[in-house]
Chains A and B, each alone.
Chain A
Amino acid sequence: MTENHTDTGAQIELIDVVKRYPGQENAAVDDLSLTVPAGETVMFVGPSGCGKTTSLKMINRLIEPTSGQILIDGEDVTTKDATELRRSIGYVIQGGGLMPHMTVAENIGLVPGLLKWEKRRTRDRADELLDMVGLDPSTYRDRYPRELSGGQQQRVGVARGLAADPPVILMDEPFGAVDPITRQRLQDELMNIQAELHKTIVCVTHDIDEAIKLGDRILILKQGGRIAQYDTPEQILSAPSDDFAADFVGSGSKLKQLSLLRVRDLELVRPVTCRVGEDVDEVVARAEEAGEQSVIILDERDRPLEWVFLRTLRRHSTVTDPERELHTVVDHRSTLADALDSMLVSSHGGAMVTEGGRYIGVISYDTVTEHIRSAQNGES
Chain B
Amino acid sequence: MIRFIDERWADILFRSYQHGSLVIQSLILATLIGVGIAVLVTTYRGLSPAANAISAVGLTIPSFALLGLLLPFTGIGVVPSVIAVTFYAVLPILRNAVVGLQSVDGGIIESARGQGMNAMTIFWRVRLPLAWPVIMTGIRVSAQMSMGVAAIAAYVLGPGLGPYIFTGLSTVGGANALNYAVVGTVGIIVVALLLDALLVLFARLTTSKGIRA
Contacts and interface: CB of A to CB of B under 8 A. Distances in A.
Interface of A: 60, 62, 83-88, 91, 93, 97-103, 110-111, 114, 144-146, 160
A58 to B, nearest CB: 12
Contacts of A102: 208, 210
- Interface of B, secondary structure class, is helix
B209 interface: yes
Contacts of B210: 100-103, 144-146
Contact of A114 (B111, B115, B208): B115
10 contacts: A83-B117, A83-B118, A86-B116, A87-B116, A99-B108, A100-B108, A101-B130, A101-B210, A102-B210, A110-B117
B109 to A, nearest CB: 10
A88 B118 CA distance: 14
B114 interface: yes
A114 B211 contact: no
A62 B111 CA distance: 10
Interface in B174-194: none
Given A100-B130, A101-B129, A101-B130, A93 B211 contact: no
Interface in B92-139: 107-108, 110-118, 121, 126, 129-130
Interface of B: 107-108, 110-118, 121, 126, 129-130, 208-211
Contacts of A84: 116
A160 B129 CA distance: 20
A93 B116 contact: no
Contacts of B129: 101
Nearest to A110: B115
Contacts of A83: 116-118
Contacts of B112: 99
Contact of A62 (B113, B121, B126): B113
Given A91-B111, A93-B111, A100 B116 contact: no
A83 B117 CA distance: 6
A101 B117 contact: no
